[in-house]
Each structure stands twice: as structure tokens, then as C-alpha cells.
Amino acid sequence: MDALSDLFRVVRLTGGVFLEAEFSAPWSINSQAGPEECRFFLAQPARLISFHYVLSGKLLLQIGGHPPVEVRAGSIVLLPRNDVHTLASQAGLKAVDPDKFIQTSPDGGLLRIEYGGGGEITRIVCGAVGTESDCNPLIDSLPPTLVLDLNGKPAGDWIASSFRYAARELAAANAGSTTVLAKLSELMFVEAVRCYLEGLPPNERGWLAGLRDPAVGKALALLHTDLAHPWTAEELAHQVFLSRSAFADRFTALLGMPPITYLTRWRMQVASQRLRESRRSVAEISEDVGYESEIAFARAFKREFSVTPAQWRKGRQL
């Protein structure tokens, strides 16, 4: 299995399509995926990544004060942070709340919107991909908005036909359609990230560049797959068929830190999340993230956050 597949296995994606929309120019709406729209396929995700796929026509997407981005038919736009955004036929229009235009299905199927001034038609399907953890470097490394034009690309045809199929399946409330749509959305997200990685400049540095490197990517997958394992630089180098020095140099050049420093920081991020979200004891959490000694874990945690694990947990419960 390649490194990207390993990392996606750790992320544990769950997703689905929840809305089909037909807009006629001029139109402008505010948009953000929420738990209510996603309730058919996501129970309580820690994080949502919303997406829109343009079946026909075009739209402008804008987040806050950033310049608008044009998205045309055959393109996917991902919002890894699920930021509030505006979708519109043109710039300068006043955005409306789309909730009043949502048509619900009596059998709990696909939501639908028809809205606009009667001009040029834009059709989209909207959905979300959720993860169990709010702390994930793969998703954190993606830009706030990721637009991928799949026209002419090998994945373009199957994604287009899959989304049309998805809309029909959920609209008809066919048995098993929710599961099918979840898998389609997850595959779409994986394909989008793959395309983004392929387009990175050769001299790119950072987490995604490390993931693209065969040796460093495999090491990242190993670290995230088995966080509690007592990894050493020597063992990681052996696993990726490099000498210790060659591996450490390559990892540091791409990630900006040695592999064991990266591992320690990631362990602390996971530990801080579990201290906040679970009732497990500090001793149990320290073991979860690879520390046999609670004292050693507390020292490492305080170096990272300047407080002890108990103090950090207490501060987040106020």
C-alpha cells in the first residue's frame, strides 16, 4: 500500500452527498456544511470538509475578504476547514440564506434547492467528508480553498458520472444509497488530494511535500499508523530502505525537523486532543501515545505546552 493510502486509512473518512442545487442567474447564497445537513451519513464528526461539484454552468466562490475563485463545470471545490463562504453567479451580489429555499424530501432523501433570477443555469451537488479527529496534518496542510478542474483528466469522467448517479440514488431514497454515496465522496476527496499533490512544485517543502516523497511519505504513514510504537530513526530508516543519515537528512529537509522531533510533537497534539475530548486518565493517554512512563510524558507535554497535562485539561474545562 502506498503512503497516501496508508494516511487515508488512519484519517478514517466518512462522507456523502446531501444537497443538489439548481441556480439561475443572478443568484448569490451563503454556504457552510453543518451537522443538520450531514445527519444522514455523519453521526458526530470532529471535523467537516465541505465540497461542491459543478455539474453544469459556473460559479464564483469567495471566503471572507479573499478574492473570488471561479469554478466551472467538471470542477470540484474543496473547503478543508469548512469555512463560511459565498457562492454566486457574479461578484457584488447580496448573498441570501439558502435555508428558506431548501426543499426537504419526506422520506429523508436528498435535499434540493432551486433559486435565482431565471438566467443562465448552474447545477451543483454539495456534500461533506468528516473525520473522527480534529487534529490531522494531512488536512491542515491543504489550502483553505482547493479547486480542481478534472476536465480532460482520467478521473474526470468517473467523478462526473458518479455524482450524477449519487444525486439520482439519494433523490430516489434507494436502499443502501447512503453507504454508496459515502464511499463515492470519500473516493472523490482522495482523488482531489492526489491531484493536488501531483501539481505541487518540485521544490515544495512541508508536510505534503514529505508525503509525496516515497521514503518520507512511507515513514509518515508508519508514524501515524502506530503512534505508540517506540520508533527510532534507525528503525524508520530500515523500513524505508535508506541509511539512517540519508533518511534523517531527507526527512529534515522536507519537514523542517528531524523524524523523532516530528513524532514527539505529533504525539503531544494527539494527547492534547484526548485530554480535551475524553475522560481517560493521564496515565492511559500517555500509554496511548507511546510513553511507558507518565513522568516522561508529563515532561514532554510541558515542554510543548508550558503546562502539565492535568493543568492543560483543567484549563480546557473552564
Among candidate residues 198, 227, 260, the one where a domain is terminated: 198
Angle at 9 between CA 31 and CA 146, to 5 degrees: 35
Report the SS3 class of residue 24. Answer: strand
pTM for this model (two decimals): 0.74
What does the block give as the cell for 47? 471535523
Among candidate residues 198, 222, 254, the one where a domain is terminated: 198
User: Residue 261's domain is classified under what CATH number?
Assistant: 1.10.10.60
Q: Pairing state of beta strands 47-56 and 121-131?
A: antiparallel
User: Residue 109's domain is classified under what CATH number?
Assistant: 2.60.120.280
Domain enclosing residue 250, as ranges: 207-316
Amino acid at 108: G
**pLDDT of 199 higher than 70:** yes
What does the block give as the cell for 137? 496534518
Supply the mean pLDDT for the chain: 84
Mean pLDDT of 13-37: 83
Per-residue pLDDT, 59? 96
Among candidate residues 178, 198, 218, the one where a domain is terminated: 198
Per-residue pLDDT, 109? 60
Q: Are residues 168 and 312 in the same domain?
A: no
Mean pLDDT of 74-97: 92
Give 14's contacts (C-beta < 8 A, 6+ positions apart): 41, 42, 45, 129, 130, 131, 182, 186
Mean pLDDT of 178-186: 70
Per-residue pLDDT, 119? 96
| Dihedral sign from CA coordinates of 305, 3, 226, 185 | positive
* Nearest-angstrom CA–CA distance, 312 and 130: 27
Domains contained in the chain, number: 2
pLDDT band at 251; cut points 50, 70, 90: very high
Per-residue pLDDT, 318? 46
Per-residue pLDDT, 1? 42
pLDDT tens track for 26-63: 999 999 887 666 665 566 667 788 889 898 999 999 99
Of the ranges 44-48, 128-132, 197-201, 284-288, the best mean pLDDT one: 284-288
> 190 or 156, which is more confident?
190
Q: Are residues 152 and 120 in the same domain?
A: yes
Q: Are residues 39 and 142 in the same domain?
A: yes
* Nearest-angstrom CA–CA distance, 248 and 253: 8
Per-residue pLDDT, 43? 61
Contact assessment for residue 239 and residue 245, using Cβ atoms and an 8 Å cutoff: no
